[in-house]
């Protein structure tokens, strides 16, 4: 008898999701003669049993489209808001899984999705995940689909900002997505020729950054581009945050949580104002925001999503569950979810991208 698969897209949207849905679907329907049903809007869709039939017609002509035809949400099955109450809806997910006669549920998403998927696997469901995020921070995979597309958008943005920075002799800070990791800012800054790259993995010294910009001015380069990860911290902010965390555990007298959160929320604009003061150059901020998640996926992301999606269908056919399909070189391999969930892939301080950035004279905000 044919196997029945469910598929959903959770977390934030990302280029390449539709390419992955298409690959899972076409391989499942064509090669392995399975049936596929989609759930709308992430885990909330399976809780409310909102389904959409994914046949060959539904999968046609979607590889070029950004976003997800299924919709997405950040809901967690074990902590889902129902009305004004937060409830554990895991049992409802299990019930609807069986109501739809599913043999497996495929979850496409980032770090949070891997954790939610592991919980469902531990609840007795057959689960496989695909790693998606523009941040490229999912553990145990070389790369995630969505990253290359966002990298291209951020790089093009830096390219375009060079001309206005040069024309007006300004500092332009480009805030790039990445709350906890700096892959996107580092890659875009390196590819776009940014003069300063600031990432969460390397707390920066504002004086070091200002000195690098002043040295450019002395050399006749009267503008600077800063690629800033939204999660980057100055050393001072890092110490304040650490002290606040310590206060919570020891009852110390550092800043309150509200004061710390307000300071952290405004750190990009504060950086801009401080650099203007320290260098004498006008400073402007460009926040790319959700632009990085929109639009058609790059060829690299389409190929990656297709490779991983077809591998996912093969694993279901072989009865391999409780795994994430990871990219390892040119291979797509299963990695147990308990080795992925709760972990984050940060930029190693000895990564080649950091090494080459230093060798070409890019300031990373620290003294080396």
| Phi and psi angles of residue 338, each rounded to the nearest 5 degrees, phi first | -70, -10
Identify the three-state secondary structure at position 232: coil
135 is catalytic: yes
Ordered DSSP codes for 188-229: HHHHHT-SEEE-TTSPBPHHHHHHHHHHHHHTT---EEEEEE
Q: List Cβ neighbours of 147 (8 Å cut-off, separation of 6 or more).
A: 133, 134, 135, 136, 183, 184, 301
Determine the Cα–Cα distance for residues 116 and 280; give it in Å rounded to an integer: 49
Q: Which of 13, 41, 75, 135 is catalytic?
A: 135
Each residue of 196-228: b (16+ CB within 10 Å) or e?
Answer: bbbbbbbbbebebbbebbeebeeeeeebbbbbb
CA atoms within 13 A on the CB side of 308: 36
299: burial class by Cβ within 10 Å (0-12, 13-18, 19+)? exposed
| Phi and psi angles of residue 6, each rounded to the nearest 5 degrees, phi first | -110, 150
- The pair of three-digit structure tokens given for residue 285, joined into one six-digit string: 């901020």
CB 324 within 8 A of CB 130: yes
Residue 331 CB coordination number (10 Å): 10
CA nearest 271: which of 229, 217, 220, 218?
229
Determine the Cα–Cα distance for residues 90 and 172; give it in Å rounded to an integer: 47
* Active centre residues (catalytic): 135
């Amino acid at each position: 008898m044919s196997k029945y698969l469910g598929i959903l897209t959770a977390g934030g949207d990302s280029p390449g999701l539709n390419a992955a849905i298409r690959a899972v679907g076409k391989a499942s329907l064509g090669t392995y003669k399975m049936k596929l049903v989609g759930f709308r809007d992430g885990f909330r869709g399976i809780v409310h049993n909102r389904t959409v039939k994914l046949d060959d017609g539904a999968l046609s002509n979607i590889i070029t489209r950004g976003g997800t035809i299924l919709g997405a949400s950040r809901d967690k099955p074990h902590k889902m808001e129902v009305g004004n109450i937060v409830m554990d809806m895991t049992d409802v997910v299990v019930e609807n899984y069986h109501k739809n006669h599913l043999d497996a549920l495929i979850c496409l998403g980032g770090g949070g999705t891997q954790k939610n998927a592991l919980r469902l696997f531990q609840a007795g469901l057959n689960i496989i995940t695909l790693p998606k995020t523009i941040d490229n921070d999912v553990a145990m995979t070389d790369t995630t689909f969505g990253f290359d597309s966002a990298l291209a958008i951020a790089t093009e943005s830096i390219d375009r900002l060079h001309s206005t920075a040069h024309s007006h002799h300004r500092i332009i800070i480009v805030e790039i997505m990445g709350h906890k990791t700096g892959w996107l800012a580092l890659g875009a800054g390196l590819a776009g020729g940014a003069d300063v790259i600031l990432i969460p993995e390397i707390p920066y010294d504002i004086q070091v950054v200002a000195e690098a910009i002043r040295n450019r001015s002395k050399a006749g380069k009267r503008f600077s581009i800063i690629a800033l990860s939204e999660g980057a911290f100055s050393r001072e902010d890092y110490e304040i945050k650490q002290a606040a965390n310590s206060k919570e555990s020891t009852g110390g007298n550092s800043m309150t949580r509200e004061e710390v959160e307000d300071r952290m929320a405004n750190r990009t604009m504060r950086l801009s104002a401080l650099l203007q003061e320290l260098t004498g150059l006008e400073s402007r901020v460009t926040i790319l925001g959700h632009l990085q998640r929109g639009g058609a996926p790059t060829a690299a992301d389409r190929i990656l999503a297709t490779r991983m999606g077809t591998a996912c269908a093969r694993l279901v056919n072989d009865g391999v569950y409780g795994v994430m399909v990871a990219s390892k070189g040119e291979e797509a391999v299963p990695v147990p979810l308990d080795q992925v969930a709760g972990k984050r892939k940060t930029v190693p301080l000895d990564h080649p991208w950091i090494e080459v950035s230093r060798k070409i004279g890019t300031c990373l905000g620290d003294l080396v």
